[in-house]
Amino acid sequence: MSMDLNVKAIKKNAFRITKVRGKTALRIRVPGGLIEAKHLQAVKEIAEQYGDGTVHITIRQGFEIPGIPFEKMDEVNQKIAQMIKEVEIDNGVDIDNAKKGYPASGTRNISACIGNEVCPFANYNTAKLAQRIEREVFPNDYHVKIAVTGCPNDCIKAHMQDFGIIGMADTQYERDRCVSCEACVKNCSLRVTGALIMHNGKVRKDERRCVGCGECVLTCPTAAWSRNPEKFYKLVIMGRTGKKNPRLAQPFLEWVDEETIIKVIKNTYEYIDKYIDRSLPKEHVGYIVDRTGYQVFKEYALKGVVLGPKARVAEHINFGGYLYERDGFMK
């Protein structure tokens, strides 16, 4: 069967152009990696009725259903409409008509570790924050990757994203509860950054070395350490895979609140709109930062942002990574 295909429209509708002639694949968003189990039935039905019977769980925690004939895209969109309504629209995402499927696919599914609803190490509800970010940035055609993780263990690999949001615990120490057992000090030395030391029989914390993991709270047998209920975050930026210059994200902000995270991300979309190379089919934001320089990005990102007293901002960032030199492997 021959068809006139509008490739740009197909991709925008969250369908992939595949190597199999006449077949596409649907990409389903799962913000924060958390959905009700009932939605798996729709995924199953689409895969079996329209696809090849398989489902790929993507690295970004969404679903991809391959083997769908192009001429069945409208039917598939009808089939996925209820899930789009309940997962996206009912959670405040601005989508006009769920029966037409997804209106954009540029900004990738926002991924999250399991968070503090389950994990004792996590410092916040990651799925809830991911879903809030989804409301703020989707739908959008700009290619941006965002991940949220509950603690510096970084189980979601936030350091490989354009924006990685890491939960930080502002730990509080009560000297009178401390019995000088050194459990927290030993754990911090062996497993974290060595930010805790014993001094005159009590624990002293080096704020410069503390990454806010909160493990001192978990290891203390007398509850001398506790978490400040106020939530704080680290924002690491411009990590990426890919061919040109793979690299880990670097710290941009530390000890900032949720409102700051949201504002910085939204400001960055304005920055992208101004500086993106429109001659390319798409451009990752990290390459735009490389081109304009970090200081220009920082000025845009912090517009209108009111930083709290604990907040820290990177003055300079050396993103590093590795580059391919022409003679890199020549003898």
Checking if the pLDDT of 3 tops 60, the result is no
- Which CATH entry fits the domain spanning 7-100: 3.90.480.20, 3.50.50.60, 1.10.260.40, 3.20.10.10? 3.90.480.20
Does 194 have pLDDT greater than 90?
Answer: yes
Mapped onto helix, strand or coil, the DSSP state of residue 226 is strand
Find residue 235's DSSP bridge partners: 165, 253
pLDDT band at 323 (very low <50, low <70, confident <90, very high): confident
Q: Does 185 have pLDDT greater than 80? A: yes
- Selected residue with higher pLDDT from 119 and 330: 119
pLDDT of amino acid 322 = 87
| Mean pLDDT along residues 47-66 | 97
Reported as a single tens digit per residue, the pLDDT across 248-282 is 999 999 999 999 999 999 999 999 999 999 999 88
Residue 234 pLDDT: 98
30: pLDDT strictly greater than 60: yes
173: tokens are 């120490």
Q: What is the pLDDT of residue 305?
A: 97
The residues near 314 (Cβ < 8 Å, ≥ 6 apart) are: 250, 251, 252, 253, 298
CATH number of 111-168+231-313: 3.30.413.10
CATH code of domain 171-227: 3.30.70.20
Q: Do domains 111-168+231-313 and 171-227 have the same CATH topology?
A: no
Query: What are the b/e assignments for 201-215, b being 16+ CB within 10 Å?
Result: eebebeeeebbbbbb
Q: Is the pLDDT of residue 331 over 60?
A: no
Q: According to the model, what pLDDT value does residue 329 have? A: 59
Regarding predicted confidence, which is higher, 92 or 1? Answer: 92
| pLDDT (0 to 100) of residue 326 | 62
Average pLDDT estimate for 163-189: 97
Give the three-state DSSP class for 244: coil
Average pLDDT over residues 217-232: 97
Average pLDDT score over residue span 242-253: 95
Q: Residue 1: pLDDT above 50?
A: no
The answer on pLDDT for 5 being more than 90 is no
Instruction: Reply yes or no on whether the pLDDT at 2 is more than 60.
Output: no
Q: What number of residues does the chain have?
A: 331
- The DSSP-derived string for 140-191 is --S---EEEESSTT-TT-GGGSSEEEEEE--EEE-GGG-----HHHHHHHHH
Domain locations in the chain? Answer: 7-100, 111-168+231-313, 171-227
Cα distance between residue 100 and residue 98, in whole Å = 5
pTM listed for this prediction? 0.94
pLDDT at 330: 56
Least confident of 1-15, 31-45, 97-111: 1-15
Mean pLDDT in residue range 137-166? 97
